[in-house]
């Protein structure tokens, strides 16, 4: 699933069947190449939905057990979120110091939260190759 498709999707509680928020952004841990959390807007409980609290990432909605699955940002997530860690629009450098262009979109596996592909104007990069996301650039391994 693409980040661009998934953004804006509503978050629905399976216990009350009510909409409890809307997906705003994605928090990626470059070390594990996967999503650790989603940022959420329009929620009264907070702005963070940990990936572990997601019941299912569906085609039309993200389901959670209850509205309080959405929490305030914790330290671990805060360290990986913020403007400096945002992946979309970031310059991509490989470990050989070549600029590959900016990230236009990314794909993740809705079942596991794994980052599968980084989409760049110059082509796609396997999510496994991601090393880190910093203020200047996202660093990826050079082609094998």
Partner 1 sequence: MSRLLRTSEVTRRPVVTLAGQDVAQIKDVVFSAGGGAVIGFTLAGRGLFSGPLNQALPWASVMALGPDAVMIRHEEVFAPSATVLDGSASSVGSGGDVLGSQVLTESGTELGTVVDVILETAEAGGGHCDVVGYEVAASEKLGTNGTRVFIPLPDTLAASSEHLIVPDSATRFVAHDLAGFGAAVKAFRHELEGPT
Partner 2 sequence: MSWWVWLVVGVVVITVVLVGLLIVQMRRRRGGAIVNQSQSTGDRGLGDEQAAADL
Candidate residues 14, 15, 32, 95; the one interacting with partner 1 per rule CB under 8 A: 95
Closest contact distance (angstroms) between CB of 143 and partner 1 is 11
Among partner 2, partner 1, none, partner that 141 touches (CB below 5 to 8 angstroms by kind): partner 2
**63, 90, 144 from 82: Cα distances, Å:** 24, 13, 31
Token pair 């594990």: residue = 32
Closer residue to partner 2 in complex, CB, 2/142 = 142
Closest contact distance (angstroms) between CB of 138 and partner 2 is 15
Candidate residues 74, 95, 112, 122; the one interacting with partner 2 per rule CB under 8 A: 95
Closest contact distance (angstroms) between CB of 139 and partner 2 is 10
Closer residue to partner 1 in complex, CB, 77/133 = 133
Residues that bind partner 1 (CB under 8 A): 93-99, 131-139
Residues that bind partner 2 (CB under 8 A): 95, 131, 141
């Amino acid at each position: 699933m693409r980040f661009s498709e998934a953004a804006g999707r509503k978050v629905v509680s399976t216990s009350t069947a009510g909409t409890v928020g809307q997906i705003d952004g994605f928090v990626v841990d470059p070390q594990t190449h996967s999503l650790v959390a989603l940022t959420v807007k329009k929620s009264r409980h907070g702005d963070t939905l940990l990936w572990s609290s997601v019941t299912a990432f569906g085609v039309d909605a993200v389901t959670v057990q209850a509205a309080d699955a959405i929490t305030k940002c914790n330290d671990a997530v805060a360290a990986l979120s913020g403007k400096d860690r945002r992946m979309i629009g970031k310059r991509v450098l490989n470990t050989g110091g070549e600029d590959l262009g900016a990230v236009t979109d990314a794909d993740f596996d809705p079942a596991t939260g794994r980052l599968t592909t980084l989409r760049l104007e110059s082509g796609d990069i396997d999510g496994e190759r991601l090393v880190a996301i910093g203020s200047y650039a996202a660093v990826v391994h050079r082609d094998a």
